[in-house]
């Protein structure tokens, strides 16, 4: 245990009664001896210890968040981004089978909407710097789960093996009365630093 000799430190933190008996006390594992009156005194006798009250807590900055936007996919229908890049991942919002130029559904057919939304998703992934091969998780929301097989046949054309993890749900309703909506999470390609060439 390191002991500290105490001297005036200007700011009064204790009343006289608290230090009258001059009994040694310990704070944070450092032994200190009170001397006189109402001041707080401290000085470390060890040259190896800068302050007996140093904090060991460390903090990290939050990950950088960057919005992804492209005119080649439908604009967001509300206060959200087409996708967000954070660290080495891209989070793509739910995509609908809308034609980007008109904002209208390609048709009322679930197959056509699935094809169109996957094209839209591809454009968002491309704008983020990712692609279908780097998708790790998808979520499919269907107005009617009976359309699952039709959707699955089209879906399989876009995602290469190993296929992403996936969840599929029938929901009560989708935006604009869509037949299908799909969202995904993808990785961003990692930059490989060139290795120095050895001339040994």
Q: Please count the residues of the chain.
A: 200
Q: Model's pTM, two decimal places?
A: 0.67
pLDDT digits (tens, 9 = 90+) for 58-89: 556 666 899 999 999 999 999 999 999 999 99
Are 110 and 147 in contact by the 8 Å Cβ rule? The answer is yes
Give 97-119 pLDDT, tens digit per residue.
999 999 999 999 999 999 999 99
The span from the CA of 164 to the CA of 112, in Å, is: 22
pLDDT exceeds 90 at position 129: yes
């Amino acid at each position: 245990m390191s002991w500290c000799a105490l001297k005036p430190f200007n700011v009064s933190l204790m009343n006289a009664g608290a230090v009258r008996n001059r009994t040694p006390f310990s704070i944070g594992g450092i032994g200190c001896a009170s001397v006189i009156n109402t001041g707080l005194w401290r000085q470390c006798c060890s040259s190896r210890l800068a302050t007996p009250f140093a904090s060991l807590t460390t903090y990290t900055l939050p990950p950088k968040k960057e919005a992804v936007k492209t005119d080649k996919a439908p604009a967001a229908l509300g206060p959200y981004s087409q996708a967000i890049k954070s660290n080495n991942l891209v989070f793509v919002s739910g995509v609908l089978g809308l034609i980007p130029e008109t904002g209208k559904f390609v048709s009322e057919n679930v197959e056509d909407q699935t094809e169109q939304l996957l094209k839209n998703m591809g454009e968002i992934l491309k704008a983020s710097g990712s692609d279908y091969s780097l998708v790790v998780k998808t979520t499919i929301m269907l107005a009617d789960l009976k359309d699952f097989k039709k959707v699955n046949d089209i879906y399989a054309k876009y995602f290469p093996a190993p296929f992403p993890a996936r969840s599929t749900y029938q929901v009560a309703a989708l935006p604009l009365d869509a037949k299908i909506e799909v969202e995904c999470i993808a990785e961003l390609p990692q930059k490989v630093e060139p290795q120095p060439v050895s001339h040994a």
